[in-house]
Amino acid sequence: MFLSEIYKSMQGEGMLTGTPSVFVRASGCNLRCWFCDTPHTSWHPEGKDISVDEIVAQVEEWDCRHVVLTGGEPMLFAELLPLAEQLRHGGWHITIETAGTLYLPVACDLMSISPKLASSGPTEHPHWSRRHARQRFQPQVLQALMGEYAYQLKFVVDQPSDVPEVVEFLERFPDVPPARLWLMPQGQTPEDLRERSQWLEPICQEHGWTFCPRKHIEWYGPVRGT
């Protein structure tokens, strides 16, 4: 599996915020969000091919029962199946972080789905902009993931005009309980997050949604390996 990094940190987003976790970060993505906070896995993918056994051996080095399989887009890699299977047999709690555009029948305890809104498109890159627009919303995949797994939905919100799209999404998937929905401000610095939090937090309160601060940026700043 092509990986950019494996490291231990604290989960900074969603319902497991604060949980010590080993992050296994796949390198490669089928989307190209303009605000991607891991461009070393999307715009400029870097890393190396590591076997499933070697990944599990590296995970075992930390005394940590939570593993987050993330990216990039981990669902791009068929090796995710044997990797998750081995981790499950070893008793780890597995979170998969995905944009929800691709499906694999993978072992997973929490499917953390972050569907990308229209404003995430890279308008300055026409080729990728078209591909991104075609691929970013895959309702059948989302339905399957939400139907088969314990899940959370995390939307990255860049501007107030993104909010009607979240409302539309929820009208299309009316069975999503509010407790599974998290709205996060877009931003890669504590200042950006503060600025957007000022209007996003009241919007969340108004709709009964959960505001999701991005604690890892508060804790560590925009630093790789966190």
Residues of this chain that bind ligand SF4 (CB under 6 A): 29, 31-33, 36, 38, 41-42, 71-73, 99, 116
* Nearest residue (CB) to ligand SF4, 1 versus 31: 31
Nearer to ligand SF4, 32 or 66 (CB): 32
Residue 218: CB minimum distance to ligand SF4, A: 19
Tokens of 28: 């490669």
Tell the smallest beta-carbon distance from residue 63 to ligand SF4 (Å): 28
Give 57 or 118: the residue with its C-beta nearer to ligand SF4: 118
Q: How far is the CB of 188 from ligand SF4 (least distance, A)?
A: 11
- Least CB distance to ligand SF4 at residue 114 (A): 7
- Rounded CA gap, 130 and 82, in Å? 33
Residue found by looking up tokens 């919303």 in the block: 137
Q: What are the φ and ψ backbone dihedral angles of 22, each rounded to 5 degrees?
A: -95, 130
Element (H, E) at 192: helix 190-207
State which residue, 184 or 200, has the beta carbon closest to ligand SF4.
Answer: 184
Q: Do 105 and 81 contact (CB within 8 A), yes or no?
A: yes
Strand 2-10, strand 20-26: pairing: antiparallel
Task: Please report the DSSP string for 47-88 in residue order.
Answer: -EE--HHHHHHHHHTS--SEEEEESS-GGG-TTHHHHHHHHH
Nearer to ligand SF4, 32 or 214 (CB): 32
Residue 87: CB minimum distance to ligand SF4, A? 21
- What would the two tokens of residue 70 be? 């993330």
Q: Which two tokens stand for residue 12?
A: 């900074």
